[in-house]
Amino acid sequence: MTETRAERMRWPDITAYLEHDDRAIIAIGAVEQHGSHCAMGTDTMIADAVARAAAERTGVVVYPPIWFGWSDMHMGFEGTVSLRPSTMQAILTDFVESLTRAGFRRFLFLNGNRRVNLPPMQIAATELTNAGGRIVAVADVAYLAYDQVATLRRSPPGGIGHAGEIETSVMCHIHPDCVWLENAVSAPTHAATPQRVFMSSDPAFDGGDRFLLPRTAEQFRASTKETGVSGDPTFANAETGVAVFTEMVDGLVKVLDILRETPLPPAPVSRANQG
């Protein structure tokens, strides 16, 4: 099998790859608390596993993941690391600029931090694409299998959220050594306040008006009753994890196919050249 993991390739291997493909996958996750039952690297582990599985199917080069993301909401729990959004944008920009210099032209940012990383990722992707000559797409593991999760889930409404049924199930499949189900607690999210619905990953809560009302790290910790969980991991199991993981990989393969067929944007025309 052809090697797709950049860290295991030599620079001549990259040169040969660029003769027939110009795509690269960059996974971005987080090191943040995931309750007392999942490892803090859960988001990165999931994104990296999905990226590597899709790379094996498509032959697209995948780079080592960026382990840290925007985790400000979880800073009330010991051990969490959070980058500023501007720092994330700078890291992603430097990453893409480096690979553009090598000859890559199509990039896929794969987010594992359940929506929260998306704002700085989207800004970086848009600015990099607007610079011309390349395109940067953004995908989120939660959205790649979003529709399928509605039927694969076993928990009632409120069971899908941070460190909830789905994340925990996927971890039971890919990294069972980083899951302690005996410590799992049921802490379902509810649509009692709009800000909880706004950030929900649970399809059962979709629909209606939404707005963001941020909470501090201390408020978030208190809202989870000191557990760090907003969901119901007690329903998690490896069988569900396999099914969801498969859907995530299938979804990413489709995005990579779209990325391959998408025309590159031309370099922008400066106002000075517009007459």
Residue 3 lies in a domain: no
Q: Say what the pLDDT of residue 200 is.
A: 57
| Global confidence as pTM | 0.90
pLDDT at 180 over 60: yes
- The verdict on residue 59 lying in a domain is yes
Taking only the tens place, the pLDDT of each residue in 14-28 is 999 999 999 999 999
> Which range marks the domain in which residue 261 is found?
11-267
244 within some domain:
yes
What is the chain's length? 275
Q: pLDDT value at position 203? A: 63
148 or 223, greater pLDDT: 148
Q: Determine contact, residues 140/56, Cβ cutoff 8 Å.
A: no
Q: Strand 61-66's sheet: what is its strand order?
A: 61-66, 23-28, 106-111, 135-140
pLDDT exceeds cutoff 90 at 30 = yes
Give counts: helices (H), strands (E), the chain.
Answer: 10, 4
Average pLDDT value for residue range 187-201: 56
Average pLDDT, the chain: 91
Tell me the pLDDT tens digit for each residue of 212-238: 677 888 988 888 888 999 899 999 999
CATH of the domain at 212: 3.40.50.10310
**Greatest alpha-carbon span in the chain:** 69
- Across 106-123, average pLDDT: 94
Question: Is residue 64 in some structural domain?
Answer: yes
In a domain, 272, yes or no: no
Q: In the predicted model, what is the mean pLDDT of residues 130-152?
A: 95
Q: Is residue 154 part of a domain?
A: yes
In this model, does residue 204 exceed pLDDT 80? no
When comparing pLDDT for 259 and 209, which is higher? 259
Residues of the chain above pLDDT 70, percent: 88
The residue among 110, 107, 112 whose CA lies nearest residue 129 is 107
Is residue 5 in a domain? no
Number of domain units in the chain: 1
3-state class (DSSP) for residue 238: helix
Residues ≥6 apart with Cβ < 8 Å to 42: 29, 34, 163, 167, 171, 178
Strand-pair partners of 110: 27, 139
Any domain includes 223: yes
pLDDT (mean) for 66-72 = 96
Mean pLDDT of 83-90: 97
Cβ–Cβ under 8 Å, residues 71 and 112: no
Highest mean pLDDT, choosing among 69-78, 195-204, 238-247: 238-247
Quick one: average pLDDT of 91-117?
A: 96
Q: How many Cα atoms sit within 13 Å of 222 on the Cβ side? A: 5
For the residues 51-71, what does the mean pLDDT come to? 97
Alpha-carbon distances of 113 from 30, 167, 169, 220, rounded to whole Å: 6, 10, 16, 16
